Amino acid sequence: MAVLKIGDTDRFLVLSALALFVMGVVMVYSTSYIVAINRFGDEFFFIKKHLTYAFIGLVMFVAASRIPYTIYGKLVYPILLLALVLILFIYVPGFGFKAGGARRWVHLGPLAFQPSEPVKLAVVVFLAYSLSRKAERIKDFYFGFLPNVIIPGVFIALILMEPDLGTALTLSALVLIMSFAGGVRLRYLLGLFVPAVPVLIYVVEKHPYMLKRLLIFMDPWKDSLGAGFQMVQSFLAFGSGGVTGVGLGEGMQKLFFLPEAHTDFILSVIGEELGLAGVGLVIVFYVVFLVSGINITLKAKDLFGTYLALGLTVMVSMQAAVNMAVVMGLLPPKGLTLPFISYGGSSLIINMIAVGILLNIYIKNAEEAS
């Protein structure tokens, strides 16, 4: 097994991910200490938990970078089964619990995690395996299309039941992108919108707050003290920061003005405290990560490695893009964290595993090329 050396790695991939990771540690403390004092009487309450997740994430990153990525293809069905068990645990008394009106979390000892995060990783592994195995018959409807839609569709349906529309939609987009890249006929993929539209209408009608979010997104100032409050406060944070920001730790919006300042809307506080320069730096790191991931995808020597690298790159980059679009008012709120930066252990750990797998694909292909 190869020893991890800096000369053997894609420096840009690792450095961009680690830079975002370190920025996350700093900003989680900056955005959470006031809330932590108010709720728990301990300013370090959230950062201590985040550092625990960060340590686990680093360990998993190193482990994933050393495990041959081909093993995931051999274990694809056990991985899918484990993901299914985890998400079903949401409905088991004593394990699953509600927060914010949705049943999305599972207790694991003193820690809590979102099963939808490992589900995304499992779906990427499955699609990479399936697309590579069926490459020669990928344009066949029953062989190359249906299985790649039905299996992820089960997980998407379970995520919708939580309900978690944001994750369900991003996972659906991930399936479409990977399937299109794998050569599935475009008309089959476009045909998915026919059953998807009535399902979305049903979900939105069953949960009126989703429709309210969409309507208030069009003009949050109409209800600036109600449904539009979070978006308005996000705009104020960005506006207050200007070019260079008000200074690290000096932001005002996290003082009970901006809800979820340390999770979904952490970029807004970065914009306030570090200004356009800080937000620009975050975007640059994500772009570097995206380009590095695409580079690994193009250089992979086998189809499984190609599709796996593509799926992991899209998984992280798309969530980052959606989160940034939401806090800037370009998309309705979706409850998605900012990868590597937001407080949220399950997301951080899964994303660090994704980086480790990408790194292993790069290392293995570099070894074969030398």
pLDDT tens digits, residue range 242-296? 999 999 989 998 887 888 789 999 999 999 999 999 999 999 999 999 999 999 9
For residue 96, the surrounding DSSP H or E stretch is strand 96-99
Burial group, residue 175, by CB count within 10 angstroms (0-12, 13-18, 19+): buried
Give phi and psi for 134, each to the nearest 5: -105, 20
Tell me, what DSSP letter sits at residue 112? E
Crossing angle of helices 303-327 and 266-299, in 10° steps, is 160
Residue 19: partners with Cβ closer than 8 Å, 6 or more residues away: 285
Q: Which two tokens stand for residue 357?
A: 């797998």
- Given a contact cutoff of 8 angstroms between Cβ atoms, the answer to whether 66 and 360 are in contact is yes
Six token digits for residue 308 = 């796996």
User: How far apart (Å, rounded) are the C-alpha atoms in residues 133 and 70?
Assistant: 13
For residue 4, pLDDT beyond 80: no
- With a CB cutoff of 8 Å and minimum separation 6, the contacts of 130 are 147, 148
| pLDDT, tens digit (0-9, with 9 covering 90-100), for 173-189 | 999 999 999 999 999 99
| pTM metric for this prediction | 0.93
Task: For residues 138 and 198, give the distance between their C-alpha atoms in angstroms, rounded to a whole number.
Answer: 27
Structure tokens at 222: 């109409």
pLDDT at position 101: 61
Query: What whole-number distance in Å separates Cα of residue 157 and Cα of residue 197?
Result: 14
Please provide residue 113's backbone torsions phi and psi, each rounded to the nearest 5 degrees. -145, 160
Phi, psi of 29 (to 5 degrees): -65, -45
- pLDDT > 80? residue 308: yes
User: How many CB atoms sit inside 10 A of residue 36's CB?
Assistant: 19
**237-242 long-range Cβ contacts below 8 angstroms, 24+ apart:** 237/265, 237/268, 237/269, 237/271, 237/272, 238/268, 238/271, 238/272, 238/279, 238/328, 240/272, 241/271, 241/272, 241/273, 241/274, 241/275, 241/276, 241/278, 241/279, 242/275, 242/276
pLDDT of res. 97: 73
Average pLDDT, the chain: 90
C-alpha to C-alpha distance for 32 and 42, rounded to whole angstroms: 10
